[in-house]
Amino acid sequence: MRTLLCLLSDQHVPNLLSVHHFRPDRLVLVESEAMRERGVADDFLRALKLGGLDYGGDRCERQPLAHEDALPEIRRALQDAYGRHPSDEWIVNVTGGTKPMSIGTFQFFSVLEATRVYINQSRPNEIQFMDGAGIERVAHRPTIAEFLAGYGFQSQKSPDDVAAAEDRARQWWDLARALAAEFGSEELLQFESDKERKKAKEKRLDLMTRHLHSRLAASPTARSFLARTFALNETDDGLTGQLDKYQVQFLLGSWLEVFLWGLLERCREALNIWDVRLGIVPQRPGQEANEFDVSFMRNYGLWMVECKTGSQEYDKGGEILYKIEAIIRQPRALHVRTILATTSSNVLDEQGQVRPEIKNRAAAHRCTIVRRDQIRDLAASDNPSELLKTILGW
């Protein structure tokens, strides 16, 4: 019987990767009082289940630890766990827990011929054997759902709804690319009143020629793409027909997230990213839900893309960066990075570069800003993956 022992902590990915790599028959989770109060073990087991590993029932044992910094208490807890299964093949991951927990666990199992392993946060896909036997690479790549589940998040939007949105995005991506190549802060649909706008976003719009922005109506390429994609009637005066609420929302700004989602999806192998998702809505009980416009996994960490179209006249100081920081702070995760893609000129100086105060604030929040001219270049590029690497500093 193979037993894997993990020290629970706020950062679950190293433990999760070790379980997927070794596939033990039994899992022993050393659980301090702080981890028990936060429900970390339940979150960890749910993350494993989302990845196809079910350690429910007697396949998992939780070993309580009263004092996480006291070596005698740590040894006592480990003796309890080991004493229940002394004949098992023991593998011990010392990555998690407090430093005393890691030290105590290493010392305790050093005399028991157990396999002791460690995962360096800078190389999360490498399992290091602490007896000098070498390194093994982890094949498993956790999804966004697994990553967030370990921090207590569940998806407010159903997988079917996310899949439906991504199906629409695939059908509309060529149109999104055409809009990204030609337009910026313009409102592509014009309304006579807020009431008309609200109804269109929530229900549908009987499109008339007055609704299209003059630049969109005057662009043969964009207008032709729009007519074909949404089955509209093209006349000398413009376009007419019916738009459903999703098509209205697309033209009111979500074209940018559709473009970037489709671009990242197409370039995922070249960029070494995975699980590129559109519009997921993670939520932890008792906290406000926040939608991730586009998200993906890279280097075993989560990346989130916030997309902002229009002039953003109400946000001259770049306050959106504070919203981004509030969103990523919720998971308590070490490996979360953000990208702000914006068509607004508010973040730019007279030379078209990001204003120094905005750039410094973004750097403090570990956020990369993608400018309007860069979005246009990406839409026109024949090799967008290399351009993306340059823009994102990869």
Rounded to whole angstroms, how far apart are CA atoms 167 and 326? 30
Give the three-state DSSP class for 344. Answer: coil
Residue bearing the bigger pLDDT, 327 or 67: 67
- Ramachandran quadrant class, 45 (left: phi over 0; alpha: psi -120 to 50; beta: rest): alpha
- In this predicted structure, what is the pLDDT of residue 382? 92
For range 231-240, the mean pLDDT: 88
Q: pLDDT tier at 363 (50, 70, 90 boundaries)?
A: confident
- In this predicted structure, what is the pLDDT of residue 168? 98
**pTM of the full structure:** 0.92
pLDDT tens, residue by residue, 135-144 = 999 999 999 9
Summary mean pLDDT of the chain? 92
What pairing do the DSSP bridges indicate for beta strands 204-207 and 238-244? antiparallel
Under 8 Å CB-to-CB from 383, ≥6 apart: which residues? Answer: none
Tokens of residue 244, six digits: 């459903």
- In this predicted structure, what is the pLDDT of residue 313? 53
Rg of the chain over Cα atoms, rounded to whole angstroms, equals 25
Residue with tokens 């059908």: 171
Tokens of residue 380, six digits: 């026109």
For range 290-297, the mean pLDDT: 93
Check pLDDT > 70 for residue 330.
no
pLDDT tens, residue by residue, 246-283 = 999 999 999 999 999 999 999 999 999 999 999 999 98
Check pLDDT > 90 for residue 194.
yes
- In this predicted structure, what is the pLDDT of residue 293? 95
- In this predicted structure, what is the pLDDT of residue 132? 85
For range 8-29, the mean pLDDT: 97
Check pLDDT > 80 for residue 69.
yes
Nearest to 219 by CA among 205, 230, 234: 234
Nearest to 331 by CA among 11, 7, 6, 96: 11
Helix (H) or strand (E) holding 293: strand 292-298
Tokens of residue 219, six digits: 């662009």
DSSP H stretches of helix in 158-273: 159-182, 194-202, 214-217, 220-230, 245-249, 255-266, 268-271
Residue bearing the bigger pLDDT, 21 or 218: 21
Give the three-state DSSP class for 124. Answer: coil
pLDDT tens, residue by residue, 85-135 = 999 999 999 999 999 999 999 999 999 989 999 999 889 999 999 988 899
Query: Count of CB atoms within 10 A of residue 392's CB?
Result: 15
For range 163-191, the mean pLDDT: 94
Check pLDDT > 60 for residue 316.
no
- In this predicted structure, what is the pLDDT of residue 393? 93
Let me know: does 4 contact 82? Beta carbons within 8 Å. Answer: no
Check pLDDT > 90 for residue 287.
no
The strand pairing partners of 134, in sequence order, are 129
Check pLDDT > 60 for residue 311.
no
For range 26-35, the mean pLDDT: 97
The strand pairing partners of 2, in sequence order, are 89
Let me know: does 14 contact 95? Beta carbons within 8 Å. Answer: yes
Tokens of residue 291, six digits: 């939608």
Dihedral (CA of 180, 181, 185, 190) sign: negative
What pairing do the DSSP bridges indicate for beta strands 273-280 and 292-298? antiparallel
For range 146-174, the mean pLDDT: 95
Query: Count of CB atoms within 10 A of residue 122's CB?
Result: 7
> Lowest-pLDDT range, 1-10, 75-84, 347-356?
347-356
Rounded to whole angstroms, how far apart are CA atoms 276 and 34? 33
Check pLDDT > 60 for residue 317.
no
Check pLDDT > 70 for residue 312.
no
- In this predicted structure, what is the pLDDT of residue 79? 97
- In this predicted structure, what is the pLDDT of residue 333? 60
Check pLDDT > 70 for residue 147.
yes
